[in-house]
């Protein structure tokens, strides 16, 4: 008899909820997540692999998505890209710019000018 994977991945759900709650923490890492969920880093990575992603890819993707939304908020019009990036765990402006450009095809500043309120 072939056993099927359950439709929900409880550890994955708990890990992604933890990530959401700590998205701006620059110390957010697989080890931090695993420690807080009382699992091994290896087990954490296995759960993310079962969802066809990695912990790092998931964190970076969520940070970039939140950054993109923040750039479009009129209330953030006078907040620098670097300051917005720091809110989401990007404490190196050049790293943020490169990652954002890979994901969205332009720098955060250009994205803001093209799609935002400025």
Question: Ramachandran region of residue 89, left (φ > 0), alpha (ψ -120 to 50) or beta?
Answer: left
In a domain, 4, yes or no: no
In a domain, 56, yes or no: yes
Mean model confidence pLDDT for the chain: 90
Burial environment of residue 53 by CB neighbours within 10 A (0 to 12, 13 to 18, 19 or more):
middle
Cα angle value 7/9/15 (rounded, 5°):
155
pLDDT (average), residues 101-118: 88
Helix (H, G, I), strand (E, B) or coil at 8: coil
In a domain, 3, yes or no: no
Q: How confident is the model at residue 118 (pLDDT cuts 50, 70, 90)?
A: low
The domain total for the chain is 1
- pTM beyond cutoff 0.85: yes
The domain in which residue 58 lies consists of: 10-115
In a domain, 5, yes or no: no
Residue 117: per-residue pLDDT: 60
pLDDT (average), residues 1-9: 52
């Amino acid at each position: 008899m072939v056993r099927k994977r359950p439709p929900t991945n409880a550890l994955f759900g708990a890990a992604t909820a933890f990530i959401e709650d700590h998205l701006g923490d620059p110390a957010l890492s697989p080890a931090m997540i695993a420690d807080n969920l009382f699992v091994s880093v290896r087990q954490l990575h296995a759960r993310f692999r079962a969802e066809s992603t990695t912990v790092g890819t998931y964190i970076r993707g969520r940070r970039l998505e939140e950054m993109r939304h923040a750039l479009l908020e009129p209330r953030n019009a006078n907040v620098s890209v670097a300051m917005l990036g720091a809110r989401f765990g990007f404490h190196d402006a050049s790293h943020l710019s490169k990652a954002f450009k890979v994901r969205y095809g332009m720098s955060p500043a250009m994205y803001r000018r093209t799609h935002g309120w400025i």
